Chain A
Amino acid sequence: MKLVIDSNIFISSVAPKDIFHSECYPIFEKLLNFELEALCPALVLVETTYVIRRRTNSETIAIAVYKNLSRLLSITWLDITVDVAESACMIGCKTGLRGGDAIVLQVAEQYGIPLLTKDKEMKKKALKGTLVFEPSELSLRRD
Protein backbone atom coordinates (compact mmCIF):
# COMPACT_ATOMS: atom_id res chain seq x y z
CA MET A 1 0.00 0.00 0.00
CA LYS A 2 1.24 3.48 -0.91
CA LEU A 3 0.32 6.64 1.02
CA VAL A 4 1.29 10.28 1.39
CA ILE A 5 2.07 10.77 5.08
CA ASP A 6 1.79 14.17 6.73
CA SER A 7 4.27 15.59 9.26
CA ASN A 8 1.88 15.25 12.21
CA ILE A 9 1.82 11.45 11.77
CA PHE A 10 5.63 11.19 11.90
CA ILE A 11 5.88 13.51 14.91
CA SER A 12 3.21 11.66 16.88
CA SER A 13 4.83 8.34 15.98
CA VAL A 14 8.27 9.18 17.34
CA ALA A 15 7.12 11.27 20.33
CA PRO A 16 5.71 8.88 22.94
CA LYS A 17 4.07 11.63 24.99
CA ASP A 18 2.24 13.13 22.01
CA ILE A 19 -1.51 12.78 22.39
CA PHE A 20 -1.79 10.85 19.08
CA HIS A 21 1.20 8.54 19.60
CA SER A 22 -0.73 5.30 20.20
CA GLU A 23 -2.89 5.93 17.13
CA CYS A 24 0.01 6.83 14.80
CA TYR A 25 2.79 4.47 15.88
CA PRO A 26 1.25 1.31 14.29
CA ILE A 27 1.43 3.07 10.90
CA PHE A 28 5.05 4.03 11.48
CA GLU A 29 5.83 0.47 12.52
CA LYS A 30 4.53 -0.69 9.13
CA LEU A 31 7.10 1.62 7.51
CA LEU A 32 9.88 0.19 9.69
CA ASN A 33 8.83 -3.31 8.64
CA PHE A 34 8.69 -2.27 4.97
CA GLU A 35 5.01 -3.29 4.84
CA LEU A 36 3.91 0.17 3.75
CA GLU A 37 5.35 2.67 1.26
CA ALA A 38 5.21 6.42 1.74
CA LEU A 39 5.67 9.31 -0.68
CA CYS A 40 6.30 12.61 1.06
CA PRO A 41 7.40 16.08 0.04
CA ALA A 42 10.77 17.01 1.60
CA LEU A 43 8.86 19.66 3.58
CA VAL A 44 7.54 16.86 5.84
CA LEU A 45 11.10 15.84 6.71
CA VAL A 46 12.00 19.42 7.63
CA GLU A 47 8.86 20.03 9.71
CA THR A 48 9.23 16.76 11.60
CA THR A 49 12.88 17.48 12.42
CA TYR A 50 12.14 21.05 13.55
CA VAL A 51 9.27 20.07 15.84
CA ILE A 52 11.31 17.27 17.45
CA ARG A 53 14.20 19.73 17.93
CA ARG A 54 11.93 22.22 19.67
CA ARG A 55 10.19 19.63 21.81
CA THR A 56 13.37 17.93 23.03
CA ASN A 57 15.72 20.92 22.89
CA SER A 58 18.28 18.38 21.64
CA GLU A 59 20.26 18.88 18.45
CA THR A 60 21.58 15.29 18.62
CA ILE A 61 18.11 13.75 18.75
CA ALA A 62 16.79 16.01 15.99
CA ILE A 63 19.73 15.13 13.71
CA ALA A 64 19.24 11.43 14.42
CA VAL A 65 15.54 11.72 13.54
CA TYR A 66 16.40 13.54 10.31
CA LYS A 67 19.12 11.09 9.28
CA ASN A 68 17.06 7.99 9.98
CA LEU A 69 13.90 9.26 8.30
CA SER A 70 15.88 10.38 5.25
CA ARG A 71 17.51 6.93 4.97
CA LEU A 72 14.45 4.80 5.57
CA LEU A 73 13.89 3.07 2.25
CA SER A 74 10.13 2.73 2.66
CA ILE A 75 9.82 6.53 2.37
CA THR A 76 10.45 8.37 -0.90
CA TRP A 77 11.22 12.04 -0.30
CA LEU A 78 10.14 14.30 -3.15
CA ASP A 79 11.75 17.60 -4.14
CA ILE A 80 9.60 20.70 -4.25
CA THR A 81 10.30 21.81 -7.80
CA VAL A 82 8.80 24.78 -9.63
CA ASP A 83 6.21 22.45 -11.22
CA VAL A 84 5.24 21.11 -7.79
CA ALA A 85 5.02 24.67 -6.45
CA GLU A 86 2.74 25.61 -9.34
CA SER A 87 0.35 22.73 -8.66
CA ALA A 88 0.43 23.49 -4.93
CA CYS A 89 -0.40 27.14 -5.68
CA MET A 90 -3.47 26.06 -7.65
CA ILE A 91 -4.61 23.79 -4.80
CA GLY A 92 -3.98 26.57 -2.29
CA CYS A 93 -5.98 29.04 -4.39
CA LYS A 94 -8.93 26.65 -4.72
CA THR A 95 -9.05 25.44 -1.11
CA GLY A 96 -7.70 28.37 0.92
CA LEU A 97 -5.41 25.98 2.83
CA ARG A 98 -1.95 26.93 4.12
CA GLY A 99 1.00 26.67 1.72
CA GLY A 100 2.49 23.67 3.55
CA ASP A 101 -0.87 21.88 3.55
CA ALA A 102 -1.20 22.46 -0.21
CA ILE A 103 2.30 21.07 -0.89
CA VAL A 104 1.41 17.86 0.98
CA LEU A 105 -1.99 17.55 -0.72
CA GLN A 106 -0.35 18.16 -4.11
CA VAL A 107 1.60 14.89 -3.79
CA ALA A 108 -1.59 12.93 -3.07
CA GLU A 109 -3.28 14.52 -6.06
CA GLN A 110 -0.33 14.09 -8.44
CA TYR A 111 0.23 10.42 -7.63
CA GLY A 112 -3.45 9.56 -7.07
CA ILE A 113 -2.82 8.02 -3.67
CA PRO A 114 -4.48 8.72 -0.29
CA LEU A 115 -3.13 11.20 2.24
CA LEU A 116 -2.79 10.17 5.85
CA THR A 117 -3.07 13.04 8.34
CA LYS A 118 -4.54 13.87 11.72
CA ASP A 119 -5.47 17.35 10.52
CA LYS A 120 -9.24 17.49 10.14
CA GLU A 121 -9.11 20.84 8.34
CA MET A 122 -7.07 19.32 5.50
CA LYS A 123 -9.53 16.48 5.24
CA LYS A 124 -12.44 18.90 5.09
CA LYS A 125 -10.90 21.23 2.50
CA ALA A 126 -9.13 18.70 0.25
CA LEU A 127 -10.13 18.75 -3.41
CA LYS A 128 -12.85 16.38 -4.51
CA GLY A 129 -11.28 13.11 -5.56
CA THR A 130 -8.35 13.28 -3.15
CA LEU A 131 -8.73 10.66 -0.44
CA VAL A 132 -7.73 11.82 3.03
CA PHE A 133 -7.66 9.40 5.95
CA GLU A 134 -6.83 9.41 9.62
CA PRO A 135 -4.84 6.47 11.01
CA SER A 136 -7.90 5.12 12.80
CA GLU A 137 -9.72 4.89 9.48
CA LEU A 138 -7.08 2.66 7.93
CA SER A 139 -7.77 -0.86 9.02
CA LEU A 140 -4.08 -1.70 9.31
CA ARG A 141 -3.82 -4.50 11.77
CA ARG A 142 -0.53 -5.12 13.53
CA ASP A 143 -0.49 -8.88 12.81
Chain B
Amino acid sequence: MEKKQKLQIIEEIKRIERELYLKKTQLAALEALEYGITGPSLLAEGLDTQEWREVFSELIRLIGQKSTGGNSVEDIKMERER
Protein backbone atom coordinates (compact mmCIF):
# COMPACT_ATOMS: atom_id res chain seq x y z
CA MET B 1 0.00 0.00 0.00
CA GLU B 2 2.83 2.34 0.89
CA LYS B 3 4.55 1.66 -2.42
CA LYS B 4 1.33 2.34 -4.31
CA GLN B 5 0.91 5.66 -2.52
CA LYS B 6 4.49 6.60 -3.29
CA LEU B 7 3.96 5.88 -6.99
CA GLN B 8 0.78 7.94 -6.97
CA ILE B 9 2.64 10.89 -5.49
CA ILE B 10 5.43 10.54 -8.06
CA GLU B 11 2.84 10.52 -10.86
CA GLU B 12 1.14 13.56 -9.36
CA ILE B 13 4.47 15.43 -9.18
CA LYS B 14 5.16 14.56 -12.82
CA ARG B 15 1.72 15.83 -13.84
CA ILE B 16 2.19 19.10 -11.93
CA GLU B 17 5.65 19.55 -13.47
CA ARG B 18 4.20 19.05 -16.97
CA GLU B 19 1.45 21.60 -16.27
CA LEU B 20 4.03 24.04 -14.89
CA TYR B 21 6.15 23.58 -18.00
CA LEU B 22 3.16 24.23 -20.26
CA LYS B 23 2.19 27.38 -18.34
CA LYS B 24 5.78 28.65 -18.48
CA THR B 25 5.83 27.97 -22.24
CA GLN B 26 2.57 29.89 -22.71
CA LEU B 27 3.93 32.81 -20.70
CA ALA B 28 7.22 32.83 -22.59
CA ALA B 29 5.31 32.82 -25.91
CA LEU B 30 3.25 35.83 -24.78
CA GLU B 31 6.34 37.66 -23.57
CA ALA B 32 8.15 36.91 -26.82
CA LEU B 33 5.35 38.66 -28.70
CA GLU B 34 6.23 41.85 -26.81
CA TYR B 35 9.94 41.48 -27.51
CA GLY B 36 11.61 43.68 -30.11
CA ILE B 37 10.21 46.68 -31.89
CA THR B 38 8.07 45.71 -34.85
CA GLY B 39 6.45 48.58 -36.75
CA PRO B 40 2.70 48.34 -37.38
CA SER B 41 3.32 48.02 -41.13
CA LEU B 42 5.15 44.76 -40.40
CA LEU B 43 2.53 43.25 -38.14
CA ALA B 44 -0.88 41.76 -38.90
CA GLU B 45 -3.51 40.06 -36.81
CA GLY B 46 -7.07 38.85 -37.03
CA LEU B 47 -8.89 37.57 -40.09
CA ASP B 48 -8.38 40.36 -42.61
CA THR B 49 -6.76 38.51 -45.53
CA GLN B 50 -5.90 41.77 -47.29
CA GLU B 51 -3.92 42.92 -44.24
CA TRP B 52 -2.07 39.62 -44.03
CA ARG B 53 -1.16 39.73 -47.72
CA GLU B 54 0.05 43.34 -47.46
CA VAL B 55 2.20 42.68 -44.39
CA PHE B 56 3.81 39.55 -45.83
CA SER B 57 4.29 41.24 -49.17
CA GLU B 58 6.33 43.95 -47.40
CA LEU B 59 8.22 41.37 -45.33
CA ILE B 60 9.05 39.31 -48.41
CA ARG B 61 10.28 42.45 -50.17
CA LEU B 62 12.56 43.25 -47.21
CA ILE B 63 13.86 39.68 -47.00
CA GLY B 64 14.62 39.83 -50.73
CA GLN B 65 16.55 43.06 -50.26
CA LYS B 66 18.64 41.75 -47.37
CA SER B 67 19.39 38.19 -48.47
CA THR B 68 21.21 36.63 -51.36
CA GLY B 69 19.05 33.54 -51.66
CA GLY B 70 19.58 29.93 -50.73
CA ASN B 71 18.15 26.45 -50.52
CA SER B 72 15.72 25.98 -47.63
CA VAL B 73 16.03 22.18 -47.65
CA GLU B 74 19.81 22.39 -47.16
CA ASP B 75 19.42 25.11 -44.50
CA ILE B 76 17.03 22.98 -42.46
CA LYS B 77 19.15 19.85 -42.87
CA MET B 78 22.07 21.84 -41.47
CA GLU B 79 19.87 23.22 -38.68
CA ARG B 80 18.81 19.70 -37.65
CA GLU B 81 22.29 18.21 -37.84
CA ARG B 82 24.25 20.57 -35.63
Contacts and interface: CB of A to CB of B under 8 A. Distances in A.
A86 interface: no
Given A52-B63, A61-B62, A17 B70 contact: yes
Nearest to B34: A67
A22 interface: no
A47 B76 contact: yes
Given A14-B56, A15-B67, A32 B73 contact: no
A93 interface: no
Contact of B68 (A17, A52, A60, A65): A17
A58 to B, nearest CB: 5
Contacts of A29: 53
Interface in A51-87: 51-52, 54-61, 63-68, 70-73, 79, 81-82
B73 A119 contact: yes
Contacts of B29: 70
Given A32-B49, A98-B80, A98-B81, A20 B59 contact: no
A19 interface: yes
B67 A56 contact: yes
Interface residues of B, number: 41
B79 A118 contact: no
Contact of A119 (B32, B68, B77): B77
A121 B73 CA distance: 10
A55 B65 CA distance: 11
A36 to B, nearest CB: 12
A118 B72 contact: yes
Given A17-B64, A52-B63, 7 more contacts: A12-B72, A15-B67, A16-B60, A64-B59, A68-B56, A70-B33, A119-B76
5 contacts: A7-B72, A15-B70, A50-B79, A51-B79, A54-B75
